[in-house]
Structure 1
Amino acid sequence: MPARKFDGQVLRAARRALDCSQDALGRSEGVDVNQSTIAGWESGGFPQPERLPALARALRQPLDTLFPRDGLPDLADLRADAGYTQRSTGALIGTKSYIPVSNAERGVRRLKEEFVPRLAEAYGVTEAQLLAAQDRSFGISPAAMPAPRTLAEKLTYLLETTFPAGRPTDGQIAAAVNRFAGVEVVSASAVKALRTGTPPPSEVLAGLAAGVVLEGLADFFGVTPLFFQSDEDLERQVVDAIGLLAVRASSEDFALAARGGQDGLDPAMLAKISAIVAEARQQKAGPR
C-alpha cells in the first residue's frame, strides 16, 4: 500500500478548482503523462509515488495537504517525495548502479556511510532523518532505536514523532521560541544550526546557557525541559538530590521511620530511600 493517501476525486477537485484541463495537468513539469493517464488516476488508478510532488506543485497545493501520509517515511518514501525514481539514484550516490539504494529500501543491505550525506542532500532532509527512514525500511520501530543523545538528535526525533506530516519550518520554531521568551533569542538559521548539529551563533549559545532557548523549545514541542538536558547534567542533579537527602537525614527533625505507613511514604519507597541514605552516611564516614 502506498505511504501517501491518493484519492482520484481529490485530484479532480483540485484540478477543476484551478480550471486546469486533464491534458494541461498531464503536460505539467514532472508529471509528463497523457490525458488518458490523468483520467485513469481520477477514476481509481494510482500514479507512481515519485510523481506526487510534481502533481502537488502543478495544482499549487502542499504535498502533505493534497496527499497526506500515514505514518513516518521510509527510504522509498523520501525518494518519492524528492521526485526521484529508484533507477535514478545511482547518479545521486555517485555510482553506476541504483542497486545500493534498492537494497536499502528493501531492507536487504544498509547504505554505505559515504552514500548517506549524498542522498540526504538530494532528498532535502538531514542525515539523521535519512538514517531514521532507513531504520524504518529495515522494520526497526522508533521504540527500538537508540535514544537520542545530542540536541540535534533530540530535535530530529521530536520533529519526526510529533510532526510526521506538515512539519514546522525552522522559522516557525524560532518564532514560537521567541514568543515564549518575550524577546528575540533565536533566528531561523540558528534553529537550523541546532537541528543539524552545526555551531550556532554566539547569542544562541548564551541563550542555551541561560536555559531560555531550551525552555522555549520544550514549550513548543510539549515536553519537559529535562528532555534537552545532557545525561551528565541529569546525573549531577540526581547526585545533588541524594546528597541533600543525606544531609536532611542526619538532622534530628528528619525522622524517616516515622513518615512511613498510611500517612507517609510507601514502605517499599521508604526502604529504598533509607538504603540510599545509609550508603551515603557510610561513604561520608569513610572506612573504619
Structure 2
Amino acid sequence: MRAIRRAAEIPQSDVAAAAGVADSTYSGWETGTAVPDPEKLPTLAGVLGRELNDLFPRNGLPDLTDLRCDAGLYQYETAKLIGTKSAGPVAGAERGERRLKDRYVPLLATAYGVSEDELRQAQERSIAKAQGEEGEPAVTESASATGAPPGTLAEKITLILDRSYPGHQGPPSDAEIADAVNAHAGAHVISEAGVRDLRTGAAETAPPIVLEGLAAFFAVSPLYFQPDDAVARQVYEGLRLLSAAKKGSVGRVRARGAGAQGLSANVMAIVNDLVTELEQRAPDSNE
C-alpha cells in the first residue's frame, strides 16, 4: 500500500480520512504493525486507484463473509438490508450454522453487487468451511490424497465448482449447468432451481440421466456421482475376494453368490471363472 500510495503521490492523511481512521492507524497498516478490517479494503483500493482483487488478492473463491467485506459492509449493517432487528440471520449463515432464508438472498445479492447464484455458492463455502473447522472431513489436498472423497451429491458438485474453475470467470451458474444437462439428455430433465437444489443439498438424489449429464458437463467419470454405498460395496467385495484367495478359500466367495448386497451377475461370472482357474492350477494348495 505504501509503494502504491507514494507512486500516486497521495498523502497518507488523505487515505486515512477516506478510510475513516486516524493517521496513526493508517500508518500502522503501512508499516505492518496492524492490519485493516477486511471491510475497509474496498475503500483503500478505491482511494489508491486499484482493483480490489489486484491490490488484495484472495486465495480461493469467496464465502459469505468475503462477499460482505468486498462490499465494504460491516455485519451489523446487514440487519437494515434484510429488514430484521439484528444481523443474526447473516451472522449464522456466515458461521455456516444455517442457510439464509430465500427472501434474504436477493436483498443481500443486490447489496453485495453479485448475482443470487453467486451468493448461494458463497453460502455453501461458508457451510463447508464451518464443517471443516468442527472436525468434519474437509476437502483438502491431504484428504484427497488419502482417498477421502466428498460424500453427498451436494458435496461432490460443490467440490468441482470450487476446485475446477479458478480465475476471474468463476464457476458456471445453475442455469448454465441445467442447460448443459438438458442438451446432453436431448430433453428438459432439470431446471435451474433443480440444479440449485442438488448443489445446496435440498435434493439428495437425481435421476440417472441427470447424473450422466452432470458427469459429461464436468468431464468426470459417471461413477463420481454414484452413491457412496454402492461404490463402497464393490470395493468391499473386491477385498473379500483378495483375502479369500490368499487364504485358499476362494470357493466360499463363489458359493455365496450374487445377491442384493453382493456382486452383480457379470462380476460374479468373472469371479467364478477366476475361482475355477485357481482350483485347476493348485487344487490342494492354500497359497
Whole-angstrom distance in 1 between the partners of 2:162 and 2:56: 18
TM-superposition CA deviations, 1:246-276 (whole Å, max 9, x none): xxxxxxxxxxxxxxxxxxxxx9xxx879962
C-alpha distance 145-122 of structure 1, shift in aligned 2 (>3 A): farther
- Counterpart among 7, 20, 33 of residue 10 in structure 2: 20
Q: Look up the equivalent residue of 1:131 and give its one-letter code.
A: E
Q: Which residue of 2 aligns with 1:169?
A: 169
Partner amino acid, structure 2, of 1:276: V
- Output the amino acid matched with 2:26: I
Alpha-carbon offset, residue 47 of structure 1: 0.8
Q: Counterpart of 1:137?
A: 130
Q: How far apart, in 2, do the equivalents of 1:43 and 1:19 lie? A: 18
- Higher alpha-carbon deviation: 111-120 or 91-100: 111-120
Partner of 1:226 in structure 2? 221
Q: Normalization by structure 1: what TM-score? A: 0.51
**Aligned counterpart in structure 1 of residue 24 of structure 2, from 17, 24, 36:** 36
Gaps of 5+ in 1: 1-10, 174-190, 219-223, 236-266, 282-288
* 1:113 corresponds to: 101
What are the residue-to-residue correspondences of 1:47-58 with 2, within 5 Å? 47-58=36-47
Q: 1:158 aligns with which of 157, 160, 163?
A: 160
Matching of residue 100 in structure 1 with residue 89 in structure 2: yes
Give distance in 2, aligned partners of 1:207 and 1:275: 28
User: In the alignment, which of 51, 66, 85 is matched to residue 55 of structure 2?
Assistant: 66
Q: For residue 90 of structure 1, what is the amino acid of its counterpart? A: A
Q: Distance in 1 between matches of 2:85 and 2:226?
A: 44
Give the % identical residues. 32
Alpha-carbon distance in 1 for matches of 2:77, 2:125: 22
Q: Which amino acid aligns with 1:14?
A: I
SS at match of 2:58: coil
Q: For structure 2, which runs of at least 5 residues remain unmatched after alignment?
A: 140-147, 187-212, 231-249, 255-262, 273-287
Contact 1:49/1:80 (8 A) holds in 2: yes
The amino acid across from 1:39 in the alignment is S
Q: Which amino acid aligns with 1:117?
A: V
**Secondary structure of residue in 1 paired with 2:36:** coil
1:104-162 deviation line (CA, Å, top 9, x unaligned): 4345x424433662444543223133122233135352378654469xx83x5434224
Q: What letter corresponds to residue 36 of structure 2 in structure 1? A: P
Shift of 1:52: 1.0
Aligned residues: 200
After superposition, give the CA deviation of every residue in 1:190-249 in whole Å (9 maximum; x if it has no partner). x54645x6x649xx965785xxx989965xxxxx443699659xx9xxxxxxxxxxxxxx
Residue 87 of structure 1: CA displacement?
Answer: 0.6
Return the offset for 1:19.
2.2
Q: Kindly tell me: are residues 20 and 136 of structure 1, through their superposed partners in 2, closer, same or farther at Cα, counting changes over 3 Å?
A: same
Q: 1:19 to 1:208 in 2, by over 3 A?
A: farther
Q: Secondary structure at the match of 1:158?
A: helix
C-alpha distance in structure 2 between counterparts of 1:275 and 1:231, whole Å: 19
Amino acid corresponding to residue 25 of structure 2 in structure 1 = T
CA–CA distance in structure 2, aligned partners of residues 228 and 25 of structure 1: 54
Cα distance in 1, alignment partners of residues 6 and 87 from structure 2: 38
Q: Once superposed, what is the RMSD of the aligned Cα atoms?
A: 4.6
Equivalences for 1:200-211 in 2 at 5 Å? Answer: 200=179, 206=183
The aligned counterpart of 1:89 is 78
Contact map agreement 2:215 2:225 (CA 8 A) in 1:
no
Mapped partners of 1:14, 1:103: distance in 2: 37
